[in-house]
Structure 1
Amino acid sequence: MKQLNDEILKSTNEMWADRPVVFGDGDKNAIIMLIGEAPGAEEVKEGKPFVGKAGKNLNEFLEILGLKRENLYISNVVKVRPTKNSPKTGKPINRPPNREELELFVPYLQREIQLVKPEFIVTLGNFALKNTLMDSKITIGECHGTLIEYNGFKVFPLYHPASIIYNRALSEVYQQDLLKLKELL
């Protein structure tokens, strides 16, 4: 994993020296790997994935599953924070990753998965689902809460924990999906 992280750091520094890298974190022999979209401001500040508001929701979901964060491996598709300047404040705000970021980071994600070799991959959100499965047509709305076999891995798509912050109606669906996942584990 160190070699992979060194390669990521080298590639990133060549393209975006001013953008800190947030590597995957946790047990490198984990049975479960969680994959999100990209780090946000809090993640960059702490150097760990899922520590901001979405991290709070993630911790609640881990509690429902009876899992501890240190027993998982948590990563993102994109390892740097994608930002744009807010038209109101001029300060950096999150934006969806662009093609250049995907071209750099998706191959690294695929290698990261092969190194961890988890039994289960839990994708968090549409973006993580599409880029983990390398399928631009699949959507979280059509396959959340269902087990998908992919390259010898069991992939379980969930809505992103942040989606509950913005859409409270998803909370019940999210809870039901978590219970399905708990049964599989």
Structure 2
Amino acid sequence: MSEERQPSDRAALMAVRTDAMLGIDLILVTDDGAAQMPGDSSEIQSRSSEPVRAFTAQSHSKPPRESTRHVGTPPVIPDSFFDEHEPQASRLSNLQDHHARSCSNLLDNVPDHPMVFGEGDSNASLMFIGEAPGTEEERHGRPFAGRAGVKLDEMIKAMGLQREDVYITNALKFRPPGNRPSEPGDFEWCGPYLAAQVRIIRPDVIVVLGGPASKLILGSPLGITSLRGKWASYNDVDLMPTFHPAYLLRNPTLEVRGQVWKDLQEVMKRLGLPLPARG
């Protein structure tokens, strides 16, 4: 008969399990006991990847912000995009073209940045939504293209899925001017296109990644630590907020990994996906 596991043994076993599920191979521990992922943190470049910043006195000074002047009235999405006689992929492509054409009439200085619309299965039952594209996403023309994107792929794989099985996008399709934080006014103008994406794809569940995206979509003043793990709704679709993959990279603690994995398991249950067998 095997000996009963001690609390420390159970914690170690859970750490191994979440490491395997979320794709964490190695954690470095500094002399002061702080956990750190291997590799230069400066490699995280994109806005969707939420770049790591050095905590220095200069970090608290805010750079000058470029304003975005909203012109005209918020966009109205034509009903033709919701004609179910047309394939979903075709309607998404037409919606992307419509967004690209109309944006110059809405935001006078955003078109300097390329649009990153979204990618994946147009009939997906699961949709992931971040905040906005960044430099890496702009360079590659796809959402979550940096290190955080690799981590997101690992999270998706932990659920028994592949990136091609889901749909991935951002609440905003353009990087805000000056790479500034997104604002509710941005979503007032870009939100109708996200709503249209959701209406066309008709996912069963949405996972929102990170606090900024969760606040934009839910219109909540609460932070991600208060929102995560609690079911919400967006346009009649079940929605689960969780930590951004970049936060998982910056804080690869047992607690954070466990929280993310718990959130993903709740999503799997809602979708009817099989949970990994307990070892």
Q: Counterpart in 2 of 1:58?
A: 152
> TM-score, normalised on structure 2?
0.58
Question: Following the alignment from structure 1 to structure 2, what is the Cα–Cα distance between the partners of residues 45 and 150?
Answer: 30
Q: Counterpart in 1 of 2:72?
A: none
Structure 2 portions without partners, runs of 5+: 1-91, 272-279
CA 1:19–1:100 in 2, change beyond 3 Å: closer, same or farther?
A: farther
Percent identical across equivalent pairs? 38
Q: Counterpart in 2 of 1:30?
A: 124
CA apart distance, 1:83 = 4.8
CA apart distance, 1:100 = 4.6
Question: Following the alignment from structure 1 to structure 2, what is the Cα–Cα distance between the partners of residues 112 and 18?
Answer: 23
CA apart distance, 1:150 = 4.0
Q: Report the 3-state secondary structure (helix = DSSP H, G, I; strand = E; otherwise coil) of the residue aligned with 1:155.
A: strand
Query: Residues 5-154 of structure 1 correspond to what in structure 2 (within 5 A)?
Result: 5-14=96-105, 15=108, 16-84=110-178, 94-133=179-218, 135-154=219-238
CA 1:4–1:164 in 2, change beyond 3 Å: closer, same or farther?
A: same
Moved more, 38-47 or 137-146: 137-146
Asked if 1:166 corresponds to 2:257, the answer is: no
Q: Report the 3-state secondary structure (helix = DSSP H, G, I; strand = E; otherwise coil) of the residue aligned with 1:78.
A: coil
Q: CA RMSD in A?
A: 1.9
| Greater share of strand | 1
Q: Counterpart in 1 of 2:274?
A: none
CA apart distance, 1:148 = 2.3
Q: Counterpart in 1 of 2:264?
A: 178
> TM-score, normalised on structure 1?
0.84
Question: Following the alignment from structure 1 to structure 2, what is the Cα–Cα distance between the partners of residues 96 and 184?
Answer: 32
CA apart distance, 1:128 = 1.9
CA 1:24–1:153 in 2, change beyond 3 Å: closer, same or farther?
A: same
Residue by residue over 1:157-181, the C-alpha shift from the partner in whole angstroms, topping out at 9 and shown as x without a partner, is 1111111123334233212222332
Residue by residue over 1:18-62, the C-alpha shift from the partner in whole angstroms, topping out at 9 and shown as x without a partner, is 210001111111101111001111111110111111101101101
Moved more, 123-132 or 168-177: 168-177
CA apart distance, 1:113 = 1.1
Question: Following the alignment from structure 1 to structure 2, what is the Cα–Cα distance between the partners of residues 33 and 178?
Answer: 12
Q: Counterpart in 2 of 1:90?
A: none
The structure with the largest alpha-carbon Rg is: 2
CA apart distance, 1:106 = 1.4
Structure 1 portions without partners, runs of 5+: 85-93
> Would the aligned equivalents of 1:145 and 1:177 in 2 still touch at CA under 8 Å?
yes
Residue by residue over 1:67-105, the C-alpha shift from the partner in whole angstroms, topping out at 9 and shown as x without a partner, is 111111111011112252xxxxxxxxx431235532321
Q: Report the 3-state secondary structure (helix = DSSP H, G, I; strand = E; otherwise coil) of the residue aligned with 1:17.
A: helix
CA apart distance, 1:3 = 2.8
Q: Counterpart in 1 of 2:25?
A: none
Question: Following the alignment from structure 1 to structure 2, what is the Cα–Cα distance between the partners of residues 174 and 17?
Answer: 35
Question: Following the alignment from structure 2 to structure 1, what is the Cα–Cα distance between the partners of residues 215 and 183?
Answer: 14
Question: Following the alignment from structure 2 to structure 1, what is the Cα–Cα distance between the partners of residues 198 and 116?
Answer: 16
How many residues align structurally? 175
> Would the aligned equivalents of 1:37 and 1:127 in 2 still touch at CA under 8 Å?
yes
Question: Following the alignment from structure 1 to structure 2, what is the Cα–Cα distance between the partners of residues 95 and 155?
Answer: 26
